[in-house]
């Protein structure tokens, strides 16, 4: 097992990242905030939403397998109920790093999705947010990280 800090560093070292669950109505939607920040920090990000052709002015893909050239990592920002299907899509696409977003509440974290991923050799980060860690971090997310680690929303080991 890796520490959360090690897993986050490995995840954020990848430059082609898909964000699943971006919304056509981006105001206050966590997936869109992650998508925007990664894009602004120089990542090649891909929006995934089967119900949209465009998000944030960028092309949107219906699933992970439809992204030309594939991706190195995926942030799941869907409901927890949709996370197992997204994880299966990631496994089928050969993606080896998946982060299930979680801050307050259950977020996108699903025990079933975690098991599917880990049984398939995927490094699964089951909680927290990529924006809590450098180089994607901001002050607010950095402040939330220790509190959410204490509550269990950010795992200590991956």
Query: Mean pLDDT across the stretch 73-98?
Result: 97
**Which has more confidence, 29 or 45?**
45
> What domains can you pick out in the chain, each with its CATH number?
4-151 (3.40.50.720)
Of the candidates 100, 157, 96, the residue with the CA atom closest to the CA atom of residue 121: 96
pTM, entire model: 0.93
Say what the pLDDT of residue 47 is. 97
Say what the pLDDT of residue 85 is. 97
């Amino acid at each position: 097992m890796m520490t959360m800090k090690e897993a986050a560093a490995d995840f954020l070292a990848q430059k082609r990242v898909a964000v699943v669950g971006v919304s056509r109505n981006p105001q206050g939607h966590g997936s869109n905030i992650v998508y925007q920040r990664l894009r602004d920090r120089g990542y090649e990000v891909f929006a995934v939403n089967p119900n949209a052709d465009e998000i944030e002015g960028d092309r949107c893909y219906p699933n992970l397998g439809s992204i030309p050239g594939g991706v190195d990592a995926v942030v799941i920002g869907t409901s927890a109920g949709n996370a197992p299907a997204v994880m299966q899509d990631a496994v089928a696409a050969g993606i080896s790093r998946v982060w299930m977003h979680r801050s307050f509440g259950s977020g996108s974290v699903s025990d079933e999705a975690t098991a599917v991923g880990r049984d398939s050799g995927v490094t699964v980060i089951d909680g927290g947010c990529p924006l809590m860690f450098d180089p994607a971090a901001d002050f607010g997310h950095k402040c939330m990280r220790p509190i959410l680690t204490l509550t269990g929303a950010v795992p200590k080991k991956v």
